[in-house]
Structure 1
């Protein structure tokens, strides 16, 4: 079983992250604020790492590739932008080659089609079996982070070191074996997705020349170097990495107009059937009003990342009830099927309404809510 998190409004394009050896999904946290509001995020702990299952070593790279394919299929996701770091980049290349319909763009950070000689991985596995991950941790930190980071941020360095040494031994060794045996030279040379290859200029694990060789292998890929970064630019230089990602993806995901974005959110909240009826009933007389609502309410406010759809749903229900807009109230209670606001949360919202807007408004809202929920439950039974 894989531990994962899916964050962000569902109408936004999706970025999927696959992390490096000895890290879990938290390695991406410094990067996400620079991308929030433009993308939603799927992060996961690969097998043997974080909170995911840790089967006995060794693993094969196909195990990791199939794990991510299984997760995307389980969540019914496709045409994603897939960003992989180190071994996560090998996994990303494998997924893109095996199931090209799942991956629209590739972002390969500090990775390659083949990483390191076989004997180097065998030596590491033997050392860790005998002496534990802590024995190699300081040497790994020198490859992960530039000298300036190590010197100026000792507290952060200690935290990332803790993440490494607390990786399950079987998970670390198993993934070392997967990297040892992985050679994606042939399949990566046939990739067709637009690809960005990025590397820190002080990466001691996958040096710039190695990452550039992968960029040269993948047709029409782009290669960029990030200054003052080691193996984890998402930690050391998140703003610089985010700028490269945004520039790359913007070429393939042009930002929608406010109307188009508003229509996406409107459909996501109210449902296609409701919006289709509204569009069918639209006339030249009320078309400017419908455009104003789509652009202003849905494209400007509901699209903002500061509140979730669930939060905005509950706020809207409270306001519609307090203002006595019964038709709109019923509509937004029906929309909770899409926003994720539960019946219990709506109940609490209407109870809170009685305190601050008055019992009569709350009483009417409870009546309408009961009618709507009865209607929805009857539809489910049919």
Structure 2
């Protein structure tokens, strides 16, 4: 089997930290990574390291396939499989060339989605999840033709070569091989890649789901940035459950100083819970302050002592904690007996 030549793609960092899960975003023909993805990426960078890539002759990528002696670019100079190999090279470079190449979440629009599908087939062990937008398992015919007038910073030779690669892309017979979870996102107003193409992908892979965005056209990441960011984050990291949302709300109340007035527990009970948590977590330096606050919220000295000692016993705290408890109580004693 002939291995297609690797096609050079350039990486564009769009936010996040290197210690976060890696999210790799692919473009559509005639777009640049920044123009298409910047707005959505800004909403993803809090949870993910976001890196996009540019096609040959597009955006930050100056590479153009060389023409042969006849002045024509060889038909196999650019292929979807070659672009997929280029994306892997970019990801490997991000990982520093170590022995354990990083896994990543892949997202792509149109040709970027086709490349994501190719990665699912060629390197499934590298991909944690895939979100495919405005694409299909076959993108021949008029794919990309409507974008010719929208091409910016794109060399005509590279543009034509990528279009030719799209015209020859067809993995419909291999969809059943894809085991990685796939979210297929269709724009309800997308004529070039209608929902039926994405439905074919979602139903053809082993673990697929289809979402249709009403009124959205070809370039969903720029047309529906909030919704696309939510879908990508949810598919890559999991939708937040009820407990996650409650924890986030609790953290917000702590930051705002309104935690003591939350519904569900009165102040006395909440203070007892906080005291127990301070003991169990080892946050003993803050214990005296929490004791004073608990007394202000109505706990008696006996109740405070019982909550602290009970928590210490269940947490297996050292015997020396008894001294910390006594010190915390003594520190509050004059005010508590006013």
TM-score, normalised via structure 2 length: 0.61
Quote the offset at 1:107 in angstroms: 0.3
Give, in angstroms, the shift of residue 39 of structure 1: 1.3
CA distance in 1, matches of 2:109, 2:87: 14
The structural deviation recorded for 1:75 is 2.1
Q: 3-state SS of the aligned residue for 2:139? A: coil
Distance 1:64 1:2, change over 3 A: closer
> Partner of 2:91 in structure 1?
72
Match in the other structure for 1:42? 51
Partner of 2:110: 86
Q: Per the alignment, in what secondary structure is the counterpart of residue 249 of structure 1?
A: helix
Match of 1:245 in 2: 232
Q: Which residue of 1 aligns with 2:140?
A: 116
SS in structure 2 of the partner of residue 230 of structure 1 = coil
SS in 2 for 1:116: coil
Does the 8 Å contact 1:196/1:223 carry over to 2?
yes
Q: State the alpha-carbon separation in 2 of the partners of residues 73 and 35 from structure 1.
A: 22
User: Following TM superposition, by how much is the alpha carbon of 1:287 offset from its aligned partner in structure 2, in angstroms?
Assistant: 6.5
Q: Deviations over 1:273-307 (max 9, x none)?
A: xxxxxxxxxxxx99624999xxxxxxxxxxxxxxx
- Please tell me whether the aligned partners of residues 9 and 83 of structure 2 are also in contact (alpha carbons under 8 angstroms): no
1:260-299 paired onto structure 2 within 5 Å: 288-289=282-283
Distance 2:233 2:86 in 1: 27
Query: Aligned pair in 2 of structure 1 residues 100, 252: CA closer, same or farther (>3 Å)?
Result: farther
Instruction: Look up the match of 2:32.
Output: 24
Question: Where does residue 54 of structure 1 map in the other structure?
Answer: 64
> What is the rounded CA distance, in whole Å, between the counterparts of 1:286 and 1:140 in structure 2?
61
Tell me, yes or no, if structure 1 residue 10 matches structure 2 residue 18. yes
Give 3-state SS (helix, strand or coil) of 1:29's partner: helix
- Work out which of the residue numbers 156, 166, 170 in structure 2 matches 1:183: 170
Of residues 164-173 and 68-77 in structure 1, the stretch that sits farther from structure 2 once superposed is 68-77
1:105 aligns to what SS in structure 2?
strand
Which range moved further: 189-198 or 43-52?
43-52
In structure 2, what is the Cα distance between the partners aligned to 1:54 and 1:64?
13
Deviation track 1:326-362 (CA, whole Å, cap 9, x = no partner) reads xxxxxxxxxxxxxxxxxxxxxxxxxxxxxxxxxxxxx
Q: Shift of residue 66 of structure 1?
A: 1.1
Query: Aligned to 1:99, which of 108, 114, 123?
Result: 123
Equivalent position SS for 2:147: helix
- Alpha-carbon contact 1:48-1:55 (below 8 Å) kept: no
| Residue number among 177, 185, 188 corresponding to 1:201 in the alignment | 188
Q: How many pairs are equivalent? A: 230
Contact 1:226 1:241 in 2 (8 A): no
Which residues of 2 match residues 142-161 of structure 1 at below 5 A?
none
Tell me how far apart the structure 1 counterparts of residues 122 and 192 of structure 2 sit (CA, whole Å): 26
Q: What is the match of residue 345 of structure 1?
A: none
Q: Which string of whole-angstrom CA distances, capped at 9 and with x for unpartnered residues, describes residues 219-272 of structure 1?
A: 1201000122101010111111122223323328987x99xxxxxxxxxxxxxx
| Paired residue secondary structure (1:107) | strand
The one of 193, 200, 205 aligned to 1:218: 205
Provide TM-score, normalisation by structure 1.
0.54
| 2:188–2:215 CA contact under 8 A, matched in 1 | yes
Shift of 1:33: 2.2
Distance 1:253 1:45, change over 3 A: farther
**In 2, Cα distance between the equivalents of 1:109 and 1:181?**
19
Structural RMSD (CA): 3.0
The unaligned stretches of length 5 or more in structure 2 are 1-7, 67-72, 96-100, 249-278, 287-338
Q: Is the 8 A contact 1:112 1:211 kept in 2?
A: yes
